[in-house]
Amino acid sequence: MKTSIINNPADAALEITAGRIVALPTETVYGLAADALNPSAVLKIYETKKRPDFNPLIVHVSGIEEFEKYAEIIPESVFKIAETYSPGPITYVLNKNSVIPDIVTAGIDTVALRIPAHPLFRQVLTMCGKPIAAPSANMFGRISPTTAEDVLKELDGKIGYVLDGGRCRIGIESTVVRFEDDKIIILRHGFVTKEDIEKVTGKEVTTLKGKASKISSPGMLLSHYSPHTPLYIAEDLEYFKNVNANAGIVDFGVYRDLKETALNLFSDLRIADEKNFNYLVTRLVENKGLGRAINDRLVKASSGRAVVENGSVLFSKK
């Protein structure tokens, strides 16, 4: 199959309506989209990405008024967060009703709903009149794409079209938040931070760690967002600047702030990955606010590989 980059959202909407999959831009990363109410179209997403069938997909809708079509109970906190952050990079995990097919949610009883902000994605939603299921448009485990060209590097020959919406303005995925009784739990850190959510809801927000997060958000695997070149996390990049090995240094310290780091995170990893280094080295950012989402991606991209200052391997999963 030849993959073409297109510019007209109407062509993308036609693809989705016809039960095919197409890559669409969002403000976070590019998504691989299908009609969420069409199980055979959704199956194509899993097959194309080689995504494990236990990992549920996010369903994108045009506005908060759509939530009651697909979710059972919508807590007040959801509306409070949405007032400020939707449309935008936040995903609400709510108890599902039977309208969304089981394949979308990998058989679990919750559904992840997001209202994307990208104008082209919003036009496609309006033209289709259907909820759209879309994971990031990368092969499973790989770096998320933030341009149409990145999507081609991942999926060329596997899909018909990529709708070009330019470079994603955020560059890191949405925050995935579970609402359970009165509790608010972050399942995946993203652009909207724990502090942002606490501020608008006036409630404490918790984060799942370790085993609990695997059960509640099955997609949270240790190895993810990975370059082909092994990525190590070091405490001090200076050491590697002087080592005469073919090491690619990915230094996010060059950016002015965490937003700029998030914007360049996946593209810098992808560029370094294309340069034939023996390995890549990076360091974590300060672990607060948006830094949590950035560090989460870096740790997963390194599959748990870390080194101490003098270059010796502290812990390696592989």
Choose among 135, 195, 127, 152: nearest CA to 1. Answer: 152
- The binder of ligand TXA chosen from 136, 193, 226, 295 (CB under 6 A): 136
Mark the segment that binds ligand TXA (CB under 6 A) among 105-113, 193-201, 253-261, 288-296.
Answer: 105-113
63-71, 86-94, 198-206, 273-281 -> range binding ligand TXA (CB under 6 A):
86-94
Among Mg ion, ligand TXA, none, residue 103 binds (CB under 5-8 Å by kind): none
Rounded to whole angstroms, the Cα distance separating 308 from 297 reads 19
Angle between helices 148-155 and 258-273 (to 10 degrees): 40
CB of 85 to ligand TXA, least distance (A): 12
CB of 29 to Mg ion, least distance (A): 7
136 or 295, CB closer to Mg ion? 136
Q: Closest residue to ligand TXA, Cβ-based?
A: 219
Indicate the residue among 205 and 234 with the shorter CB distance to ligand TXA. 205
Count of residues of this chain found to bind Mg ion when the rule CB under 5 A is applied? 1
Of the candidates 186, 184, 179, 180, the one whose C-alpha atom is nearest the C-alpha of residue 202 is 184
262 scored as a contact of ligand TXA (CB under 6 A) = no
Residue 185, beta-bridge partner list: 178, 206
Cross-strand bridge partners of residue 250: 282
Does residue 136 touch Mg ion according to CB under 5 A? yes
Nearer Cβ to ligand TXA (180/274): 180
Q: Which helix (H) or strand (E) holds 262?
A: helix 258-273
User: Which span sits near ligand TXA by CB under 6 A: 23-31, 207-215, 241-249, 293-301?
Assistant: 23-31
Q: How far is the CB of 90 from ligand TXA (least distance, A)?
A: 9
> Where does this chain touch Mg ion (CB under 5 A) — which range of 14-22, 88-96, 130-138, 270-278?
130-138
Nearest to 317 by CA among 189, 226, 208: 226
Interaction of residue 26 with Mg ion, rule CB under 5 A: no
Told to check if 152 binds ligand TXA by CB under 6 A, we report no
Omega cis (within 30) before 87: yes
Distance between CA atoms of residues 94 and 144, nearest Å: 25
The C-alpha atoms of residue 311 and residue 289 are separated, in whole angstroms, by: 29
The CB-of-168 to Mg ion minimum distance in angstroms stands at 13
Q: What angle do CA 42, 48, 53 make, to 5 degrees?
A: 60
Question: Is residue 26 within the footprint of ligand TXA (CB under 6 A)?
Answer: yes
| Residue nearer to Mg ion on the CB measure, 24 or 247 | 24
Residue 211: φ, ψ to 5°: -60, -40
- The residues near 289 (Cβ < 8 Å, ≥ 6 apart) are 193, 195, 258
Which amino acid makes up residue 187?
Answer: L
- Residues 169-188 binding ligand TXA (CB under 6 A) are 173-174, 176, 187-188
Please select the residue that binds ligand TXA; options are 31, 88, 131, 171, rule is CB under 6 A: 31
Is the Cα torsion angle 126, 127, 132, 136 positive or negative in sign? Answer: negative
Task: Enumerate binding residues for ligand TXA (CB under 6 A).
Answer: 26, 28-29, 31, 55-58, 89, 91, 93, 105, 108, 110-112, 114, 134-136, 173-174, 176, 187-188, 217-220
Question: Which residues in this chain contact Mg ion in the complex, by CB under 5 A?
Answer: 136
